[in-house]
Amino acid sequence: MSDFCPQRFKKIFPLLCLSESEGKPLIYFDNAATTQKPQNVIDATSNYYLNCNANVHRSSHQLSRSATALFEKSRVDAQRFINASSEQEIVWTKGTTEAINIVAQCYGSVFLSKDDEILLSHSEHHANIVPWQEVAKRTGAKIRVLPLTSDGKIDTDNLSTYISPKTAIVACTLISNTVGKVNDINGIVKAARNVGAKILVDAAQAVAHIKIDVQSLDCDFLVYSGHKMFGPTGIGVLFGKRELLMKMPPYQFGGEMIKNVSFSGTTYGELPFKFESGTPNISAVLGLSAAIKFVEEYREQFVQYERALTEYCFKQLNQIPNLTLLFTDIPDIPVFSFIIDEHHNQDIASFLDTNNIAVRAGHHCAMPLMEYLSLDGCIRVSLAPYNTRAEVDSLINVLNQYLTQELRTTVDETSALEDINHRFEKAKGWDGRHREIMMLGKSLSRMPKSLRGEDNLIQGCESDVWLQGQVDGVNHWHFQTDSDAKVIRGLLVIILSAFENKSSEQILDFDIEGYFEQLGLIQHLSPSRGSGVRSIVARIIQIVAESES
């Protein structure tokens, strides 16, 4: 909906507000790894410990009853969220990884045999590969891998080559954490059904972005985590069709999952409890329930905004020279994976981090995908609805800055100062020095017209002077400055010789008056030029001091 306001939405996330109030606004572009948490989720988890901390399904006292009621109500929320037909089909897990492990261990290792095939895709997360490798090792089943199209989706054109009566289970991601595109799961389900194979859908990356309906998908298992959809870490959901969960053995053994324990024999609990041994992560379950309500409340509002933001970011990233997105076409969710020629991913990510932009560099737990693409890794920028166009602009600016300066380093820290000292010593009298100032002015490159505006104009100079400062990856300052007056341009070069490519500490500690005295500068300038020079210095000190405070 067009009235969605990302700034207002952002205010629901305390961590993002805190970084802003501390004057160091965080640009969080690592949402595919985990999203930030809104206030209602934080409240729900802490409320459990504050007001209803008791074990569930155990004691008959009031506190335990109210904790159990909230806990089981959360299961109904999770059931509604993916439109499962029964709450018995909702199993709480530690997260997506554990959910897949339950299916691999309790279905795969039990029901597969050496003639069977497990079908995965090249874009799977390690969590949807490694458990199946273990099943293959134990049962002798064979793993086959679906290829991808050039835009990164699972290639469903030649499914018949991969899906045969030997196929026992197909485990695929709905949206890959690196590709960001919705796979044709319906097509895969249809092909799998024709041969009687079971289907597991990894929805970890999808749940925060698209509505999921397990009945219309007609999948056998679907898994997701809370923390990628604004919920707490350490909680996830395994959806499984009732008849399959019924015939699977328990995952772990102990308390909570039993009906009756005796040394003469133990019977296991009903669904879903037979898969939930031990005291569960109750506060996280309540937090996940809050996250589900949060997504249900906002998703329709932010979906259109998220689309526009995806289009904007896609367009802007494409304008960066030498930046190559891993896949053609715009992604369906705001996940962008790319490399920049001749620049190491981790160095770029660290530079962005220095500028308060959090992105991920590496293999994104998808090493087989990197291998498939013949890459060592990539940079991933993943956005959420609290991100803004202005934040995308900042990313683009910092990337451009990185590419033009590439870890810019001091050529020779003292040379600029020494050079000017040397010139002034050699020059005869004030006339000679004045000539030097005019010569120096010619060496100052012009500031782009767009930057010569009110924002960068220095007050207190009789001529117009513009100045802008930025810190680089090694926390050194770089100034862009300009004036229409030639003499001022020369004076700017002298001033910058003391401050350019220096740290804040060096700038604030530098004895600029002593430097001017050494050059014999101020006494020869007119009072108004002298105060203009001091205004420029004051502005630099102000910019640096403000960034430090």
Partner 1 sequence: MQTTLYQQALLSHHQNPTGFQHNIKPSAESDGYNPACGDEITVKISTEKNTITGISFEGESCAICRASASIMCQQVSSLSDVQAKESIALIESSFAQKVPFAEALSPLNGVFDFPVRQQCALLPWQTLKQCLSQFKNS
**CA-based angle 272:285:174, to the nearest 5?**
75
Work out whether 405 is an interface residue with partner 1 (CB under 8 A).
Answer: no
CA-nearest of 167, 123, 129 to 148 is 123
Catalytic residue among 172, 365, 378, 461: 365
Task: Phi first, then psi: give them for residue 350, nearest 5 degrees.
Answer: -70, -40
Binds partner 1 (CB under 8 A): choice among 270, 431, 505, 517: 505
Nearer to partner 1, 151 or 406 (CB): 406
Question: Hey, what amino acid is at 228?
Answer: K
Footprint on residues 286-345 left by partner 1 (CB under 8 A): 344-345
CB of 487 to partner 1, least distance (A): 34
User: CB-based contacts of 68: which residues, under 8 Å, 6+ apart?
Assistant: 56, 57
Work out whether 368 is an interface residue with partner 1 (CB under 8 A).
Answer: no
Binds partner 1 (CB under 8 A): choice among 350, 405, 463, 535: 350
Work out whether 464 is an interface residue with partner 1 (CB under 8 A).
Answer: no
CB of 118 to partner 1, least distance (A): 24
Tokens 């040394």 belong to residue = 263
283 in Cβ contact with 43 (< 8 Å):
no
365 is catalytic: yes
CB of 544 to partner 1, least distance (A): 11
Work out whether 19 is an interface residue with partner 1 (CB under 8 A).
Answer: no
Question: Binding string to partner 1 for residues 373 to 392, with x set by CB under 8 A, is what?
Answer: ---xx---------------
Binding residues for partner 1, how many (CB under 8 A)?
A: 23
Nearer to partner 1, 503 or 535 (CB): 503
Nearer to partner 1, 79 or 337 (CB): 337
268 in Cβ contact with 218 (< 8 Å):
no
Question: Hey, what amino acid is at 58?
Answer: R
Q: Which residues of 312-336 are buried (b: 16+ CB within 10 A; e: fewer)?
A: bbbebbeebeebebbbeebbbbbbb
Nearer to partner 1, 71 or 351 (CB): 351
CB of 343 to partner 1, least distance (A): 10
3-state secondary structure of 457: strand
CA distance 249 to 111: 11
- State the DSSP H helix or E strand holding residue 142, giving kind and residue range, or none if neither: strand 142-146
User: CB-based contacts of 315: which residues, under 8 Å, 6+ apart?
Assistant: none
Hey, how many other C-beta atoms are within 10 angstroms of the C-beta on 307?
15
Question: Binding string to partner 1 for residues 470 to 499, with x set by CB under 8 A, is what?
Answer: ---xxx------------------------
Nearer to partner 1, 390 or 508 (CB): 508
Residues annotated catalytic, as ranges: 365
Instruction: Write out the residues near partner 1 by the rule CB under 8 A.
Output: 344-347, 350-351, 354, 361-363, 367, 376-377, 407, 409-410, 473-475, 503-505, 548
